[in-house]
A and B are shown apart, each in its own frame.
Chain A
Amino acid sequence: MLSDIRPAIVSTVLFTALLGLAYPLAITGVAKVAFPYQAEGSLVRDGAGKVVGSALIAQPFAKDEYLHPRPSAAGTNGYDASGSSGSNYGPLSADLAKRVTTDAAALRASTGHDEIPDDAITTSGSGLDPDISPAYAVLQVDRIAKARGASPDVVRKIINEHVEGATLGFLGQPHVNVLMTNRALDTTAPKSTPKSS
């Protein structure tokens, strides 16, 4: 009996040290040197070096001059980057129907268009989806242009530059990264301050 238990205990200790500590720490060390940007979470910084978010993580945008992300079910108020979660509503859930109805009305009011793409009023699996579909991005052009006092063509051009197609033409779906597009909007088409008369 003891001869059965001994290898179990010894191998648990040794494997934990090797596979649970040495392996991940070694990968961490190599990653820090070889791929520092990715290893630290693809953090995006402003001119002063302050972290404004992660290129891979959605953050809330509500102002008219910014591209809005998909709705989020992560955390109590959404976009909780330390509490990823989907809504887990089944297709016939009454809560889902209620949320979708409210969001659809609000979206139609803000864009002035009847069209609603699939991703615009559905929450993502993680609640932190950094992307929206090109259709949803284009739908927001007029609102952003008006709020920024810029021409819709300029805004549309910036958005089109940020459309990433399907990888190799068939893997995944075309998407637009919301944070990176909004940064480009701030740089290229800064909001014109209203002139005092």
Chain B
Amino acid sequence: MPEQTLSAFSQMAGLTSHNFLSAAAGIAVAAAVARAFAANRGEGLGNFWVDLTRTSLYVLLPIVIVSALVMVALGEPQTLSAHANAVGLEGGKQVIALYPTASQEAIKQLGTNGGGVFNANSAHPFENPNAITNLIEIISMNTLSLACVVAFGRLVLARKEARALVVTMAILVTAGAAAIYWAETQPAPAMHAVHASTAVNMEGKEVRFGAPSTAVWAATTTGASDGGVNSMHDSLMPLGGAVTMFLMQLGEILPGGVGSGLYGMVVMALIAVFVAGLMVGRTPEYLGKKIEAREVKFAMLAVLILPLSILGFSAAASVIPVALKALEASGPHGLSEILYAYSSATGNNGSAFAGLSANVPYWNSTLGIAMLLGRFAYVVPVLAMAGSIAAKPKLEPSTGTLPTHGPLFISLLIGVILIMGGLQFFPAQALGPIVEHFQVLNAVAGH
């Protein structure tokens, strides 16, 4: 628990600064990909240090200074005192942990980092005191990821194409939020059994948010690679949990992490034009660049890191006794906890089915490796792909070029994203949350 193990100094110097730098590093890679498409027989992709410094100082810092102060005004603490001692109205003593919360919260959300100041993350009233802070935090998660796509469109002179990417992201993440809302308003078996109200599954949720604000947040945080939570995902209904997992397994490109969402989506777009090229028998082009075997190989290599890490580690954990000891539940819910853990770590999401006690050597080391694979093993082929694309000549579109901005391309892209995610992860999901969903239906029908 951070409120028991970290001092204000560790939170600030150790965590807050990295919240900036990880977001800036994501934008630096996205900028390299954008320059690759903009270049005509280009040689370089830019200077990482220049991108890192400019992003931190000219983009992140000014926005965060304003949003941190707004967060304090709306109720988040910002103090160096470690705690306040209270004697309650009934005479009980209470030690209330305090931190410089708002300064961390602002960059945590804007940089899609998601690591909370408190154990309960943005479900904690100090990190997320009311519906307005909740809305600001949801908007923060999406702002820079979407801004990266817009900037990409301007740099590559392809605004319509960038808009198609934004529309694709919006359609999928909105569908995810709607599905979670539906799932969370279905009867929860424990409440149904005692004839209590079953309007909303309130276990793990906060009264000030309720089902709608919780569902929108859950879809956003998993679609955006943020990982901050305003409810406990382990207590979501089975299909609610399945959707959050699925959004991470799609590669966190909806709209994804800051920068990483853009390059993840561009990888998907390349695969989509490649699939379309196969269907009509033409060499595919994207944004004036011929997409050939080399680029598609790099794109597929990047995309295949996700199932390798998520499914590989999950398969191992589900048969290794020392791994299973950490689970809160057995059976399908236990498998969901395992799948969620590796989906989240590989996607650098950071949210959890927290019933899994991951703070033991086996889980710490395997989840750590999954995080490194998901970030670096993904970025290396993406940068190789960008380097290869940058060196190509920029072509004018011809009558044979597949348009990459209309509804047809958006449908194709959605299909590629869902089929890649669906085919790779559906069998595992079917044994976890989907079996559990039918168990829930059975339990509710039994009363």
Contacts and interface: CB of A to CB of B under 8 A. Distances in A.
Contact of A28 (B78, B86, B134): B78
Contacts of A25: 12, 100
Given A116-B196, A124-B205, A167-B131, A24 B104 contact: yes
B163 to A, nearest CB: 27
Given A88-B234, A173-B209, A23 B65 contact: yes
Contact of B90 (A63, A88, A93, A131): A63
A20 interface: yes
Contacts of A7: 49
B165 interface: no
A121 interface: yes
A25 B17 CA distance: 13
Contacts of B119: 83-85
A171 B439 contact: no
A28 to B, nearest CB: 5
A53 B123 contact: no
Nearest to B205: A125
Interface residues of B, number: 103
Contact of A93 (B69, B76, B229, B329): B329
Interface centre among A42, A84, A119, A127 (most CB of B within 10 A): A84
Contacts of B236: 91
A42 B75 contact: yes
A100 interface: yes
A121 B196 contact: yes
A100 B196 contact: yes
A32 B80 CA distance: 10
A92 B440 contact: yes
A32 B434 CA distance: 50
Contacts of B208: 129, 131, 172-173, 175
A139 to B, nearest CB: 11
B78 A97 contact: no
A183 interface: yes
Contacts of B14: 20
B7 to A, nearest CB: 13
A125 B230 contact: yes
B3 A59 contact: no
Contact of B89 (A15, A66, A86, A131): A66
Contacts of B103: 23-24, 27-28
A91 B190 contact: yes
Contact of A101 (B79, B130, B194): B194
A96 B69 contact: no
Category for how many chain A residues contact B: 35 or more
Interface string A22-44: 01111110111011001111110
Nearest to B354: A88
A117 to B, nearest CB: 5
A182 interface: yes
Interface string B106-149: 00000000000011100111100111101100000000000000
B4 A83 contact: yes
B143 to A, nearest CB: 18
Interface string B74-97: 111111110111111110101111
Interface in B387-415: none
B232 A86 contact: yes
A16 interface: yes
Contacts of B174: none
Contacts of B98: 40-41
Contact of B196 (A52, A74, A87, A104): A104
A175 B195 CA distance: 23
Contacts of A88: 204, 232, 234-235, 328, 353-355
Given A92-B439, A101-B193, A171-B135, 20 more contacts: A19-B17, A19-B56, A27-B69, A40-B79, A40-B98, A50-B87, A53-B89, A53-B96, A61-B89, A88-B353, A90-B355, A93-B328, A100-B190, A116-B196, A129-B207, A171-B131, A172-B131, A172-B210, A173-B208, A182-B89
28 contacts: A23-B16, A26-B65, A28-B80, A31-B79, A32-B78, A38-B75, A39-B77, A40-B77, A51-B84, A62-B90, A66-B90, A81-B96, A85-B1, A86-B231, A86-B354, A90-B436, A91-B440, A97-B190, A116-B191, A118-B197, A118-B201, A124-B202, A126-B124, A126-B206, A127-B120, A131-B206, A171-B134, A172-B210
